[in-house]
Structure 1
Amino acid sequence: MNTDIAATLPGATKTHRDESFPVASRLIAPAHRAVVLAFYRYVRAADDIADAPGLAPEEKLRRLHAFEAALDAADPAVPLARALAEADRRHGCGAAQARLMLDAFRQDAVKPRYAGFAELIDYCTRSADPAGRFLLALHREDEAAQGPADALCTALQILNHLQDLVKDRERIGRVYVPEPWMALAGGEEAFFAPGNGPARRRVLDAVLDRVDTLLDTAEALPRSLRSRRLAAESVATIATGRLLARRLRREDPVTGRVDLAKADFARAFARAAPALAHLGFTSDAAVCRRIVAGSGSSFRLGMASLKGERRRAIHAVYAFCRLIDDVADAAAPAPERRAAIEDWRREIDRLAGAPLTPVGRELQAATRAFGLDPAEFHLLLDGMAADAAERVRIADAAGLDLYCRQVAGAVGALSIRIFGATQAHAFALSLGRTLQLVNILRDVDEDAAIERVYVPLDRLLEAGIPDGPATCMVQDPRFAAVCRALADEAEAGFAEADRLLAGLDRRALKPAILMMEGYRIVLGHMMRRGFERRGPRPRPNRRDRLRLVTLALRGQP
């Protein structure tokens, strides 16, 4: 064994007080803090070896091997290794988790770039997740807490990577944002160019979308823990993660370091106080409500007209729609988006057993309460998988009907069961198609900017517009006439929905009626403005909103 390892350890770059997230805070029981610090100091020293800018990869690997050998031997010549080995002997945890992290640090020594998000997640399972598992083992917590703990640790690791983007690249030549993601901003050099903020922002936000989903999964951790102190620590840690993620959305980590302020930490730890009494934990329903509240959806008024379990169920459905739509629209490589859609497909399959995410568990509750058909969720995912392609075109009327059935009809079919109006299936499918036509007309330019054209190609060819770059297609002077014809079709769709509604329970269908009237207003604004000059998205004005609120307040629309 190399007995000179103690002399070759670099000086500590941080203490536990310098980290971005709580480490061995006063919330941890005094009996455990020394053990936690022994673990932290050992892995921090190993991480510093892997990150030492003046060492060649071969020398980093040699020192990491010697540092691990010192742990295995509880070498008294290496106090950090000896302290962790003794802690492991007393408590039965620490060494195994540290070895997993050493494996990640050896990867750091030789791997400067990542080929995809799955590679990055695999790295996090070894560089971050073992720290959470160590804390769970130290507190003798159940294995059920490992899933949300892993999600939290992975989220925090990615947030650290985003904080340190410039420092890691300049000091140690390492970048953790996967190369295909940076390619969407023009490649690595363009991604790091200070003046390329808008393109970089889209990529960073796509990464932060993944982080937010991980933090949502982590919200189950505090209520999964028996230890009140560890639960409080996890509440504070999740809160700091949320605060940092929000700061990273507002500020650019390439043009300046993004850090939390002391006031942010104070707010995070204030949220931990109720957890000491096992109170105030975030429920799965609250996670869905937060997603809905942050969406700015025009459907919120309709959802607000529901009560109790019906509102909770529609929130779950909408949160699912919001998350998968964000995946499909994200500035991530198409294969990565499709892979994320398939992850959600597996979560829907778990509705029959044990979902892993808060939205999945809420969908399971809604499915059991209202007899929702999981096939409708899969139809939605089929539509999102189509949207996740690098280039979206629809061939003909049959293709348009299928797409509308997937992304809008499925939502209608799920919603009417929650509303208690199962006899309204035909109305739901008809209205869903009509609302999607309005969406297509409203979002023509936004969609074209990401190479999506939902107006069928056969209609465009009839007008003399060949397939080509999307922005050229929608700017063709003849495109407006095709839009007017589609708008006429949407107008006829509203008339058909009115006809179908005549024989149905309008009180039960109030949320759908509110949605229908809001979209009818938007279509009217577009038709009056004309499709030759599209401009900003048309939105209900103050009079329109007053009309909708009045409609919502009526006992029966």
Structure 2
Amino acid sequence: MPPRVKDAYRHCRRRATAHYENFPVASWLLPRHLRGPVAAIYCFARDADDLADEDPRPLAARRADLLAMQERVEILEDPAAEHEPEWIALADTRARFDLPAEPFRDLIDAFLQDLEQTRYASFGELMDYCRRSANPVGRLMLHLDGEPTESMLGYSDAICSALQLINFYQDLQQDLRENNRIYLPQDEMDQYGVTEAMLAAGQSSFQLRNLMQFQYARADRLLRAGAPLGGLLRGRMGLEIRAIINGGARILWRLRQQDDVFARPRLRARDVWVILAHSLRPRRR
């Protein structure tokens, strides 16, 4: 591997490990040869996410940059033709692993949607967003590991959608205050008597706690539906996936114990040991 490509991968790995996530990215559990490629995919998603959420420029400029990213990744194939480390690493990853373009295209579609849509009428509408904002990452990881079957892709989609929902539940107030977004189904908010004013006030009312317990239970079912993937994948990739699944389950467990639905749980040392203990032995259905 040329030195500039190695340096690009190191850069992506530093970025991936520096940004706090409850769910580990390119962690030491992964096979060594996949840590750089996973970090390169993460950097692509992170840059697109920042354009949608953090960039202070007008919407038109951010939309143009996202569309440019989408067009660029479609034709990406030669690391020697790239200059930025993130794109060098991603070009090498796409070329070496023959990654499909569709998951990258879907990711950008989701971030473009974030520029325009701030409310979701139903759970089905929200799941369609998860299909493009989260599921592509899991599909790309499976392609890094080999040729995934349709059942493996289905399990992965369930896991990734569940993890996306869990992230929404951790950031209820932040999403509303910083980006005017609510990732809760509007029809279910109405059903439980929860208003946007309650979310804005940051008060864990009886109605809101009931609504969130319903959300947590459904995300848990979705996560469990995808859990067989951890037993189908062998070696360190299987261990990584099981750790991610168990990490999501542990965060859900902590969310369900909290009276304050706006408090963001962080995994502690004891949680990490519990996750590892449950991840070391694969379970099959």
TM-score (norm. length: structure 2): 0.85
Residue 239 of structure 1 is matched in structure 2 by 246
Q: Distance in 2 between matches of 1:24 and 1:283?
A: 25
Residue 66 of structure 2 is matched in structure 1 by 64
Q: Which amino acid aligns with 2:138?
A: G
Q: Is contact 1:145–1:221 with CA below 8 Å preserved after alignment? A: yes
Q: Distance in 2 between matches of 1:110 and 1:23?
A: 28
Q: Is contact 1:133–1:146 with CA below 8 Å preserved after alignment? A: yes
Q: Distance in 1 between matches of 2:215 and 2:15?
A: 27
The Cα of 1:54 is off from its aligned counterpart by 2.2
The Cα of 1:41 is off from its aligned counterpart by 0.8
Q: Is contact 1:28–1:229 with CA below 8 Å preserved after alignment? A: yes
| 1:7-406 equivalence runs, <5 A | 15=17, 18-52=20-54, 54-74=56-76, 76-93=82-99, 95-143=101-149, 144-183=151-190, 184-225=192-233, 227-252=234-259, 254-273=261-280, 280-284=281-285
The Cα of 1:271 is off from its aligned counterpart by 2.6
Q: Is contact 1:84–1:94 with CA below 8 Å preserved after alignment? A: no
Q: Is contact 1:52–1:172 with CA below 8 Å preserved after alignment? A: no
Q: Is contact 2:55–2:62 with CA below 8 Å preserved after alignment? A: no
Q: Which amino acid aligns with 2:236?
A: R
Q: Distance in 1 between matches of 2:32 and 2:16?
A: 22
Residues 1:64 and 1:140: Cα distance change in structure 2 (over 3 Å):
same
Residue 3 of structure 2 is matched in structure 1 by none
Q: Which amino acid aligns with 1:232?
A: L
Q: Is contact 1:252–1:258 with CA below 8 Å preserved after alignment? A: no
Q: Distance in 1 between matches of 2:235 and 2:183?
A: 35
Q: Distance in 1 between matches of 2:138 and 2:260?
A: 26
The Cα of 1:105 is off from its aligned counterpart by 0.7
Q: Which amino acid aligns with 2:134?
A: A
Q: Deviations over 1:21-47 (max 9, x none)?
A: 121111211111111111111111111
Q: Which amino acid aligns with 2:52?
A: A
Q: Is contact 1:133–1:149 with CA below 8 Å preserved after alignment? A: yes
Q: Is contact 2:155–2:229 with CA below 8 Å preserved after alignment? A: yes
Q: Which has the higher Rg, Structure 1 or Structure 2? A: 1
Q: Deviations over 1:394-426 (max 9, x none)?
A: xxxxxxxxxxxxxxxxxxxxxxxxxxxxxxxxx
Residue 11 of structure 2 is matched in structure 1 by none
SS across alignment from 1:93: coil
Residues 1:100 and 1:186: Cα distance change in structure 2 (over 3 Å):
closer
Residues 1:186 and 1:139: Cα distance change in structure 2 (over 3 Å):
closer
| 1:444-523 equivalence runs, <5 A | none
Q: Deviations over 1:298-336 (max 9, x none)?
A: xxxxxxxxxxxxxxxxxxxxxxxxxxxxxxxxxxxxxxx
Q: Is contact 1:222–1:235 with CA below 8 Å preserved after alignment? A: yes
Q: Is contact 1:158–1:211 with CA below 8 Å preserved after alignment? A: yes
SS across alignment from 1:213: helix
Q: Distance in 1 between matches of 2:254 and 2:231?
A: 26
Residues 1:230 and 1:16: Cα distance change in structure 2 (over 3 Å):
farther
Q: Distance in 2 between matches of 1:248 and 1:77?
A: 43
The Cα of 1:139 is off from its aligned counterpart by 0.7
The Cα of 1:95 is off from its aligned counterpart by 4.0
Residues 1:18 and 1:73: Cα distance change in structure 2 (over 3 Å):
same
Residues 1:258 and 1:185: Cα distance change in structure 2 (over 3 Å):
farther
Residues 1:18 and 1:181: Cα distance change in structure 2 (over 3 Å):
same
The Cα of 1:261 is off from its aligned counterpart by 2.0
For structure 2, list consecutive stretches of 5 or more residues without a partner in the other structure. Answer: 1-13
Q: Distance in 2 between matches of 1:209 and 1:248?
A: 11
Q: Which has the higher contact order (CA 8 A, sep 6+)?
A: 2
Q: Which amino acid aligns with 1:145?
A: M
Q: Is contact 2:73–2:104 with CA below 8 Å preserved after alignment? A: no
The Cα of 1:186 is off from its aligned counterpart by 3.4
Q: Which amino acid aligns with 2:112?
A: R
The Cα of 1:172 is off from its aligned counterpart by 1.1
Residues 1:271 and 1:16: Cα distance change in structure 2 (over 3 Å):
farther
Q: Which amino acid aligns with 2:217?
A: D
Q: Which amino acid aligns with 1:116?
A: S
Q: Deviations over 1:171-219 (max 9, x none)?
A: 1111101222222233211244344521101110111121011111122
In the comparison of the two structures, how many residue pairs are matched?
266
Q: Distance in 2 between matches of 1:181 and 1:238?
A: 26
Name the % identity.
Answer: 33
Q: Distance in 2 between matches of 1:200 and 1:175?
A: 13
Q: Distance in 1 between matches of 2:21 and 2:262?
A: 21
Q: Is contact 2:126–2:185 with CA below 8 Å preserved after alignment? A: yes
The Cα of 1:56 is off from its aligned counterpart by 2.8
SS across alignment from 1:18: coil
Q: Deviations over 1:497-522 (max 9, x none)?
A: xxxxxxxxxxxxxxxxxxxxxxxxxx
Q: Distance in 2 between matches of 1:181 and 1:82?
A: 44
Q: Is contact 1:165–1:253 with CA below 8 Å preserved after alignment? A: no
Q: Deviations over 1:356-412 (max 9, x none)?
A: xxxxxxxxxxxxxxxxxxxxxxxxxxxxxxxxxxxxxxxxxxxxxxxxxxxxxxxxx
Q: Which amino acid aligns with 1:229?
A: R
